[in-house]
Structure 1
Amino acid sequence: MEQPTAPGQGTVLETDRLLLRPWQVSEAAVQREMWTERDPRVPAHRRIDADGRPTVEDVEGWIRTRSQPDSLGLLAAERKGSGDVIGYCGLIDNTHGPDGEPEIAFELLRRAWGQGYATEAAGAVVGWAQASGYRRLWATVRDWNGASRQVLAKLGFAETGRVEPDEVHGDSLFLAKHL
């Protein structure tokens, strides 16, 4: 992985097959497509609602108003060979653990599942976190999400024993990785 660009320029991470970089407004339809593909067990506020929201226009607005990430943010995952965006990976504010210890997050379009892209992207983001001076990363994952649990295990995340029960959407497991 190459080092991220200098602060203020927006972070760009590179792996063998991917560029992880800030989102472009023209890619809003890709983000919305992920919303449409989400498992029905995902909480309603993270799925398309009865009014069809978020719309592509809503997502375009989100992209326009977000600042370029330097040590936190969700980066678009672009395949180098084709230039298509297949999802995102990055660091978000952690609302479940100690302040200053971010959470890793990733999501890919279904057509990109099972090809190792999530592990590749998340590995680059773990390196970004370490280079940014973080000492520990967190992750939350639904118990039923075996694929994401496998990605996190491959990267050395360990279950903490903390579980947030949810009979409707599935229990959330809390994982951590020391850097």
Structure 2
Amino acid sequence: MPAGASTGLPLETDRLLLRPWRVSEAAIQRELWTERDPRVPARRRIDADGRPTVADFEEAISAAAVPSSTGLLAVELKADAAVVGYCGLVEGGPETEGEPELAYELLRRFWGLGYATEASWAVIDWARSSGHRRLWATVWAWNVESLRVLAKLGFAEVRSEQHPVHGTNRVTMKRL
């Protein structure tokens, strides 16, 4: 994003506010990690020593720059200001040709209420207004709920990649 350009944040939908994380919300980030499926790669789960800790998340939030056209935003319910998870764009790797990847994760008690889809539409609009031409999303084949969200958003599978431990990873893409 050009210097001095607006980030367009916060993002707003009928029910949600998407905004940068606050240090006081580090425990929510850690809770997301504790709820992760055991099939998620170990580097993305709480380890045997209990890391990352709430203090680790506090430090990461403090060090994070304000998102410009990438970044994971807290998803807050407008009705009661509860933070229910995150949604945003992360820098893509080789599997996404270096273009941004849509990422979202909600606390389990908020699954099935349409928040991931609603938040993702706001992020897709943010990406489009930031000049991105395509978005990618990678998801494990066993994560049926996320695959359903991506289908609603118009992502189409481009290819799949086999991982010896975690199974099939679906690589999807959406033109903006």
In structure 2, the residue matched to 1:60 is: 58
For 1:59, the aligned partner's letter is F
Residue 102 of structure 1 corresponds to: 100
The aligned residue for residue 23 of structure 2 is 25
Maintained 8 Å contact 1:10/1:68 = no
Name the counterpart of 1:37. 35
Judge conservation of contact 2:7–2:69 (CA < 8 Å) in 1: no
Report the equivalent of 1:170.
Answer: 167
Of residues 117, 122, 125 in structure 2, which corresponds to 1:124?
Answer: 122
Instruction: Structure 2: state its 5+ residue gaps.
Output: none
Residues 37-92 of structure 1: CA deviation (Å, up to 9, x unaligned)? 00000000000000000000000000000100010000000000010100000001
Report the Cα offset of residue 97 of structure 1.
2.3
TM-score, scaled relative to structure 1: 0.93
CA separation in 2, counterparts of 1:86 and 1:124? 16
Deviation of 1:7 after TM superposition, in Å, equals: 4.0
Contact 2:90-2:100 within 8 A present in 1 as well: yes
**Percent identity (aligned):** 62
Q: Which residue of 2 aligns with 1:85?
A: 83
- CA distance in 1 between counterparts of 2:153 and 2:172 reads 11
Gaps of at least 5 residues in structure 1 are: 1-5
Q: Is the 8 A contact 2:30 2:52 kept in 1?
A: yes
